[in-house]
Chain A
Amino acid sequence: MENLEKILLGHPFFKNIEGDYLNLIVGCASNVRFEQDEIIFREGQEADQFYIIREGTVALDLQDPGSGKITIDTLTDGEILGWSWLVPPYYWRFDARATKMTRAISLDGKCLRNKCENDHDLGYELLKRFALIIDQRLQATRLQLLDVYGLRS
């Protein structure tokens, strides 16, 4: 547990978070490990956790009937995987697959969600941080959407 606390404290995502809240969060955290090609979660499953990737790569896939599996994003060391646990109806929108052996910290989103309902200050702290991440991903996704390398007719 001490190990986890150190890791979480040092992560930019939790910068300046109050000690009490950090303890609370550490209480919901555990070390996890995924083997290469292991499916971390599937589209449609209940989203109860989120992950901080310590080492490794996770691909976000969508299945298309015609083309098969399409990867639309990869996340690596230090990046946060998943915020669907924050947003109703709390289901994963993609498959997540480890593309190589990946170590991560899993955080119990369901548990945190309940705590946030009771302590709105904690809720605000977490939402503030996720808002930043979601914004970054949105900007990046918009650029991806533009398909700038595609041929224009």
Chain B
Amino acid sequence: MANTKPESRERVIIKADDLGKILKILKRKSYKTIGPTLQEKAIIYDEIRDVDDLPIGWTDKQEKGSYRLERRTDGAYFGYNVGPHSWKKFLSPPEVRLWSARKSENGFDLHEDDHEIPNYAFIGVRSCDLHAIQTLDNVFLGGNYQDKIYGDRRQENFIVAVNCTEAGGTCFCASLGTGPKSDKGFDLALTEIINDEGHYFVVEIGSEKGSEIMDEVSTRKAGPEMIHMADLRVEKAAKSMGRQLNTDRLRDLLFANYQHPEWEEVANRCLSCANCTMVCPTCFCHTNEEVTDLDGNNAERWRRWDSCFTLDFTYIHGGSVRKSTRSRYRQWMTHKLASWHDQFGTSGCVGCGRCITWCPVGIDITEIADTIRKSGELPDKTVEQPQ
């Protein structure tokens, strides 16, 4: 989608349930609309047909190692933050077949998988997740090779972002500059307002495609007071983040402290269960596996999510390079907060807080960074390589 400049974007107002009209228009245009739904006591992303499929009137209470849903009194459509799912579930699926092969006279014949790939419309994308998608764009499409699995699913993406008006207990997007306001990369961005005048959305139109959709919905132009009200709510969220991360020279700080005793401390608690990597919206590691049928006439190559927390991840020549939990936790955190900068020019973390919420032992990445900052070394010069 084209990134129009924020100042030049049109802002309109729609009634809350007119969101349903937008969904119908998207469906008509052959998009598969995915959005938040309430399933099994969590808010997860699945196909939605109408606004009723949204977790209306629900909110989430998140703390380290804890996720609970509670009822709201205002009937908000997006009155929660993010759950265990992220959009990578659709863009780089947990399991996807790369090809199938069949025994033949030429050894084997390869048959590329022609997946039926829907045009996804993601509804309710938070700014942190939007930044996560953009960094995954860099990972999978920004190099000499392009990842077809990701690229095919990303090509016709329509994004309806939602600006958070409340921050969660483990949120820290404000520390990273990744939210709570979405600044680019969306087709439409909604800010939900519920007050005496009613329940409506201020819609920021971010692209041509977004504009085309909104042409079919009855809207009124948003006046400056409305825009200001919407902005205020988002600013309030920015000031009430559950967590903070000091990002000042964070890369150098972590690179300079590879031997810090805190890594051992964390390792004593970490179960290397890999939950954090599963819920993290930017973790992209995956593996390829061969699957055959019993008579060996058919084989399939599958791609599955993997995690740097597994012992096998670094297996080579009869052993794993990162044997200890200490080294694996250090790898994950330093990749996310330090090496990612060298590799992709940004932080790998978007401050969504999922790793804190979904860690069964409540390890908090912001706390670890803080501990290292308080008692670690930070050299004046740039740290080229880890020490």
| Distance in angstroms between the alpha carbons of A151 and B318 in the assembled complex | 9
| Distance in angstroms between the alpha carbons of A17 and B319 in the assembled complex | 50
B317 within 8 A of A: yes
Which chain B residues border A151 with CB–CB below 8 Å? 318
A136 within 8 A of B: no
| Distance in angstroms between the alpha carbons of A132 and B44 in the assembled complex | 68
Chain A residue at minimum C-beta to C-beta distance from B316: A152
- The minimal Cβ–Cβ distance linking B320 to chain A, given in whole angstroms, is 12
| Distance in angstroms between the alpha carbons of A134 and B318 in the assembled complex | 34
- The number of residues on chain A lying at the interface, defined by a beta carbon within 8 Å of a beta carbon of chain B, is 3
Chain A residue at minimum C-beta to C-beta distance from B318: A152
| Distance in angstroms between the alpha carbons of A35 and B243 in the assembled complex | 81
A153 within 8 A of B: yes
Chain A residue at minimum C-beta to C-beta distance from B317: A152
Which chain A residues border B318 with CB–CB below 8 Å? 151-153
CB within 8 Å of A: which of B309-355? 317-319
Chain B residue at minimum C-beta to C-beta distance from A152: B318
Which chain B residues border A152 with CB–CB below 8 Å? 317-319
Which chain A residues border B317 with CB–CB below 8 Å? 152
| Distance in angstroms between the alpha carbons of A152 and B317 in the assembled complex | 7
| Distance in angstroms between the alpha carbons of A36 and B207 in the assembled complex | 86
User: CB-defined interface of B277-306 with A at 8 Å, one 1/0 digit per residue?
Assistant: 000000000000000000000000000000
User: CB-defined interface of B125-154 with A at 8 Å, one 1/0 digit per residue?
Assistant: 000000000000000000000000000000
| Distance in angstroms between the alpha carbons of A152 and B318 in the assembled complex | 6
| Distance in angstroms between the alpha carbons of A87 and B319 in the assembled complex | 41
| Distance in angstroms between the alpha carbons of A151 and B317 in the assembled complex | 8
- The minimal Cβ–Cβ distance linking B133 to chain A, given in whole angstroms, is 42
Chain B residue at minimum C-beta to C-beta distance from A151: B318
Chain A residue at minimum C-beta to C-beta distance from B319: A152
| Distance in angstroms between the alpha carbons of A153 and B319 in the assembled complex | 8
| Distance in angstroms between the alpha carbons of A151 and B319 in the assembled complex | 12
| Distance in angstroms between the alpha carbons of A109 and B319 in the assembled complex | 48
- The minimal Cβ–Cβ distance linking A149 to chain B, given in whole angstroms, is 12
- The minimal Cβ–Cβ distance linking B318 to chain A, given in whole angstroms, is 4
- The minimal Cβ–Cβ distance linking A152 to chain B, given in whole angstroms, is 4
| Distance in angstroms between the alpha carbons of A153 and B317 in the assembled complex | 8
| Distance in angstroms between the alpha carbons of A153 and B318 in the assembled complex | 5
Chain B residue at minimum C-beta to C-beta distance from A153: B318
- The minimal Cβ–Cβ distance linking B317 to chain A, given in whole angstroms, is 6
List the interface of chain B (C-beta within 8 A of A): 317-319
Chosen A-B contacts, 5 in total, with CB atoms closer than 8 Å, are: A151-B318, A152-B317, A152-B318, A152-B319, A153-B318
Closest 5 CB pairs of A and B: A152-B318, A152-B317, A153-B318, A152-B319, A151-B318
